[in-house]
Structure 1
């Protein structure tokens, strides 16, 4: 496959290297990419978030890329990679290169050296580092999935989530009252604040101020350590109910109120900015609008366009199933065959109840050592030794200060500092080091599973993205079925209603591809719950029975960007 490198040059120019080197004015870049794209090259650039939005705005979609920023960060940390092979000219700039921020005004900003890095130079180093690794095949899959995720994130940012401002504003008016002047509370929220003040005998109270609210509660004989909702629910006082309602509605007003609409919704679309691999495990994050945690109260405003539908799919119990696959634990994999892994463990005779299975498995992945979870972990370790042993080994490695890795080779961040640096440290310091050991062990225990789950999801999204593109007869990304939301184990596709059945099949087939790519020698089921709805709020009510997606034997040819 041809690799075409794009590097920024001063003066709004682009240096293209590969089989046909050329220097272009930035204004001609979209036309050049459009002309070359039918040959399906892999575009190699420093940061997808800097290059791809401008191409999408010109109705140019690319199938494949290699995101050097994401992959440099990944490879430097990968235990199976010799990091020295990534050192050389400009490497210190790649170490510091961060993702493009939504406030960045243009693709080309300053004459700083970090703005004009040589894509071909860094690409050669990365390829050499991968080729020299004993885990080269897995790392190639990982960097391909990571880069495809960057393309998907840019497309989702560009397309946006269909959003009905009128529905959102009607919802706000019903719960909060008419839109207030800037800096004021809505009428119904202010009425609740007045009721809280009256019941606490504090006419000047600002219920949004934690210190003031704590003081007012204590003057009324209510001793609490904080003002969290779960704490307030335990107090016996007339103020409890209105105060809890106030806090819930104040949160809605502050996080998804009219100001949120003004900032994040344009042209009928909620437009957050997604950050692939925004966390250490490879999970995505977003840097605005709370895109990865739609509040239940406003989900009814996420409405498909007329004649279109939202296809919502999520994976049941993703991380426990990933643990079964990556550990090669045949017994746990058998329990996972079907729609409910926890019930499968009950049917297997491992535990008495589904709740016991859930407590034990989640306890093993998150480091529960006491109480009911700890008791279940001990029993299930004997029943599923490979799976429970894998996370236990990861925890012990973390406690020794060692770096652990995911199935495809992503390494966890190293523990800051070391307890071996000061052998003569006083006991207090040693106690602190022990706490750090245990905390890091809990992190590494979960990292191996959560990170591998993120890899499965990245492969799912990468394959699905290309399947969706092929379903559309013509037009740009947002005129065809396209991804609009992704959260760890859930995707939402906006599609013409007549293609909803084909999209459902594509989602299922992409999940099978992801499963085969990661667990080709181990049969593991990844059941999907799929709903075709008009509004995102309807997804939980209209979910189809989960379909088990499993694989065994050789993986199908991957369709990853």
Structure 2
């Protein structure tokens, strides 16, 4: 037996069904006994792979009891992957409870509890679903890649649970000072802070509209038009093209209103406690496999509030981000050795210019991003045509993905994640047969629009999705490397180096200052290992920008 799989299923009355794949008889535990059972096995000679419905529920419970698991298989996340994988026979995932598994949603940041009221519909048998998934993977022509993808996805779920449980160190006093400096003192609920109120009054005066509510788009548009400022929208870049004294205070108002709404006092009350920002992460939250956030805006912390992310006394933050991830992934997955050589060691765009592929670094960036996002006209389109001749395999890969999308066909990432059906991303699913002649001109136009939009989506899907797979492998390996660093015997997760943030291609580790250099070494080693795991011995690397800082705001970008 290659590994021991221990399947845990929720039962009514806070009981847990335990089924092992070593031939032993299934049994049940009281929930209160679970942590000790898991800890005993994690401390044994063979650490099992824990198989459960939703990592966010199970691992949070174990972490509360001081138990960390090394490996798991998240049935909910993995089923979502397999249900869209082109290389999987979907009949092997069928079963009398299949629809319930398909409906099973993730635990939310506000309710991660394992057992909640009225959740009997979620008492699903982990052993039956695990057997279905294993059969589906084993029967696939891409079994090895899919197995790696499911392992990475499940490891990412463990990271997400630990990120929320540990939290990022956050100084409430620093954050409140930042807000006070920009907005004024904290106002009573339902009223504007002093600075915003003053700007709102100034905007109203300049537009001859006393009492104007700048937060109301219709009111603001009407006031602008009465002043002869006929604009299509009130976005900042549109406003900056206007020649009117209202522009500066209006843009300042919009920026500060955004700060208040996204990271103001209410955000602090909701997401920061005990000196930690505890965000809600959703692994696999997008169709490409990239994470999403279900609360707190964990994946888009603005620079304005990052000074509040301060390491504990005697600790440091190690911040690392990978340079130009998606172009490097494109070079690796396409096997384009010329582009891979340009990606070695540093700035890929500059290397493309240095080899004469284009005249300038900006041309290289414009052309390569144009290829991945479907630019076909103007300067970007011309550069794409030129670069296609220099890097035919890389540019051919995204072009092939685009043509498949335009035919209504799904595409896959390197490890086998499949794209969603045509129209799903835009919320405009095509219910008919794409190959059937349209009934009328309107149907023809809609079909053509959907095909082109899906082609643009699939063009980028293959690269962005594979980039997400590289990032999952990176954080999965880094998680284990951090745990293996020297520490006091029995030290808890938060007493040793641990991940506190993950933002697609950037990680933040909170570490004792004495281990900061070791953490930096392991962060780099994990990135190199992820590259080898996905792309073998391709002449490709993933250089990192790494900063060891006291405050997140000090990290170099």
TM score, norm. by length of structure 2: 0.95
Deviation, 1:106, is: 3.2
C-alpha deviation, 1:424, in angstroms: 4.6
Structure 2: how far apart are the matches of 1:509 and 1:481?
16
Aligned counterpart for 1:32 among listed residues 37, 43, 56: 37
Aligned to 2:184: 177
2:11 corresponds in structure 1 to 9
Query: What is the SS of the residue equivalent to 2:509?
Result: strand
State whether residues 10 and 111 of structure 1, in contact with CA within 8 Å, keep that contact through their aligned partners in structure 2. Answer: no
Q: Deviations over 1:212-262 (max 9, x none)?
A: 111111122221111110111110011111111111111111111111101
Unaligned regions of 5+ residues in structure 1, if any? Answer: 544-561
Cα deviation, residue 112, structure 1: 5.3
Q: 2:417 matched to 1:410?
A: yes
Q: Are positions 1:496 and 2:512 aligned together? A: yes
Equivalent position of 1:444 in the other structure? 458
Find the counterpart in structure 2 of residue 533 from structure 1: 549
1:161 is matched with: 168
Q: Which residue in 2 is equivalent to 1:557?
A: none
Deviations 1:358-377 (A, max 9, x none): 01100000000011110100
Q: Is the 8 A contact 1:309 1:496 kept in 2?
A: yes
Please state how far the C-alpha of 1:420 moved relative to its aligned partner. 2.6
Equivalent residues, number: 541
Contact 1:472 1:481 in 2 (8 A): no
More divergent stretch after superposition (446-455 vs 33-42)? 33-42
Q: What is the aligned counterpart of 1:487 among 459, 482, 503?
A: 503
- Aligned mates of 1:105, 1:480 — CA distance in 2: 24
Equivalent of residue 74 in structure 2, options 51, 59, 67? 67
CA distance in 2, matches of 1:100, 1:413: 23
> What is the alpha-carbon distance in structure 2 between the residues aligned to residue 221 and residue 201 of structure 1?
12
Question: Cα distance 1:183–1:113, how it changes in 2: closer, same or farther (>3 A)?
Answer: closer
Q: Deviations over 1:426-457 (max 9, x none)?
A: 01110110010000000000000000000000
**Does the CA contact (< 8 Å) of 1:364 and 1:388 recur in 2?**
yes
What is the alpha-carbon distance in structure 2 between the residues aligned to residue 396 and residue 96 of structure 1?
32
**Quick check: 1:282–1:455 contact (8 Å CA) kept in 2?**
yes
Q: What stretches of structure 2 of length at least 5 have no aligned partner?
A: 423-428
Distance between the aligned counterparts of 1:321 and 1:373, measured in 2?
Answer: 19
Map of 1:101 onto structure 2: 108
SS in 1 for 2:455: helix
CA distance in 2, matches of 1:109, 1:173: 39
Counterpart of 1:554 in structure 2 is none
Is residue 139 from structure 1 mapped to residue 111 from structure 2 by the alignment?
A: no
Q: CA deviation at 1:423?
A: 2.5
Q: Which residue of 1 aligns with 2:28?
A: 23
Residue aligned with 1:259, SS: helix
- 1:233 correspondence with 2:240: yes
Give the alignment partner of residue 264 of structure 2, picking from 257, 262, 266.
Answer: 257
Runs (4+) of structure 1 exceeding 4 A deviation are: 110-113
Partner of 1:287, secondary structure, is strand
CA distance in 1, matches of 2:113, 2:362: 52
Please state whether the residue corresponding to 2:295 is helix, strand or coil.
Answer: coil
- 2:485 maps to which of 471, 486, 490: 471
Shift in Å, 1:521: 3.7
The answer (yes or no) to whether the contact 2:60–2:112 under 8 Å persists in 1 is no
Alignment partners' CA distance in 1, 2:452 and 2:341: 32
2:426 paired residue number: none
Q: Which moved more, 1:81-90 or 1:352-361?
A: 81-90
Of residues 301, 304, 321, the one that matches 1:297 is 304
| 1:178-327 correspondence runs (5 A) | 178-327=185-334
Show the 5 A alignment for 1:320-399: 320-399=327-406
User: Which deviations, in whole Å up to 9, do the C-alpha atoms of 1:347-395 show, x marking residues without a partner?
Assistant: 1111111011001100000000011110100010011000000000000
Match status 1:505 vs 2:500: no
Q: Given the superposition, is the C-alpha separation of residues 56 and 363 from structure 1 closer, same or farther in structure 2, using an over 3 Å criterion?
A: same
Secondary structure at the counterpart of residue 537 of structure 1: helix
When residues 406 and 250 of structure 1 are mapped into structure 2, their CA distance, relative to the original with a 3 A threshold, is same
CA distance in 2, matches of 1:532, 1:382: 42
The match for 1:46 among 53, 76, 86 is 53
Question: Cα deviation per residue 1:378-416 (whole Å; 9 max; x = unaligned)?
Answer: 010011000000000000000001010000000011113
Matched residue SS, 1:356: helix
**Conserved in 1, the CA contact under 8 Å of 2:413 and 2:462?**
yes
Mapped partners of 1:282, 1:434: distance in 2: 27
Task: Please state how far the C-alpha of 1:76 moved relative to its aligned partner.
Answer: 1.2
| Corresponding residue number in structure 1 for 2:538 | 522
Q: 1:364 to 1:421 in 2, by over 3 A?
A: closer
1:102 Cα deviation from its structure 2 partner: 2.6
C-alpha displacement of 1:476:
1.4
Partner SS state of residue 17, structure 2 = strand
Query: d(CA) in 1 for partners of 2:473 and 2:548?
Result: 23
Q: CA deviation at 1:497?
A: 0.7
8 Å Cα contact 2:292/2:299 also seen in 1: yes
Q: Output the CA distance in 1 between the equivalents of 2:203 and 2:434.
A: 54
